[in-house]
Amino acid sequence: MNEPAQQPGPADLATNQNPTPPTSPPSSSSPSHRPKSRRSRIACLPAHVREEINQKLYDGWQFQTIGDWLYDQVADRDIPDLNLKTGDRYCLIWTRPAKDAKAARETCRYRIARWYYTHYPDWLREHVETSRAIRVFERAQQLSSSAKEKIEPGSIHGADAFLRALLLDAIANLRDDNKNPDKIIELVNAWAKIR
């Protein structure tokens, strides 16, 4: 009988090694798949900081290195849920409740590791899907340019209509599935290039 994989414990997560990133989302029938609460301390950080953390994980940074980077960052706005004011260092999130500096850093590293297992897979899935949509669009644009060079009657208008349809579909999917305006802006800029 197959037993479900165990979630890593704090000692496993706080190590300096990042495990292999998840390649597919957990199935909805999995007993460990539950809706995630976005109330972790990292989830309360501004979107651009969470995006940087995700990008650093994607680039292979270690949890400790990301924690050290995050400790040095300064809040660019008030964050009431974390009791941070503009100009406060993010390390205050973990040093205020910790008994000492070492425990605060370990907690920060642990929270980044938990983020890796809980929220990063969502970002990774979105990142892959968006990249795939953009690659399809860019390939269609190359085909349109090639048709334009050959000056085949009707091919230019058909390719442009096809590109616009792809772009509208991608924008609709992003709008429905994603609240990240940067991705929508990226696709709108791509639209502007073909007009």
Q: How far apart are CA 65 and CA 17, in angstroms?
A: 10
CA atoms within 13 A on the CB side of 163: 25
User: In a 10 Å sphere around its CB, with 0-12 CB exposed, 13-18 middle and 19+ buried, how is residue 52 labelled?
Assistant: middle
On the question of pLDDT at 187 being above 60, the answer is yes
Residue 135 is predicted with a pLDDT of 72
Region of poorest pLDDT, from 5-19, 139-153, 166-180: 5-19
What is the pLDDT averaged over residues 85-106? 92
pLDDT reported for residue 125: 87
User: Average model confidence (pLDDT) for the chain?
Assistant: 74
- Rounded Cα gap, residues 63 and 70, in angstroms: 10
Higher pLDDT, 179 or 126: 126
Taking residues 176-186, report their average pLDDT.
63
Residue type, 92: L
Domain ranges of the chain: 39-118, 121-194
Ranking 52-61, 78-87, 101-110, 148-157 by mean pLDDT, the lowest is 148-157
69-98 mean pLDDT: 93
Q: Which is more confident, 34 or 73? A: 73
Over residues 122-140, the mean pLDDT reads: 78
How large a percentage of the chain has pLDDT more than 70?
Answer: 51
Of the segments 40-44, 144-148, 162-166, which one has the largest average pLDDT value? Answer: 40-44
pLDDT, position 31: 41
pLDDT at 24 over 60: no
Q: How far is CA 80 from CA 6, 43, 46, 75, 88, in A?
A: 35, 13, 11, 11, 12
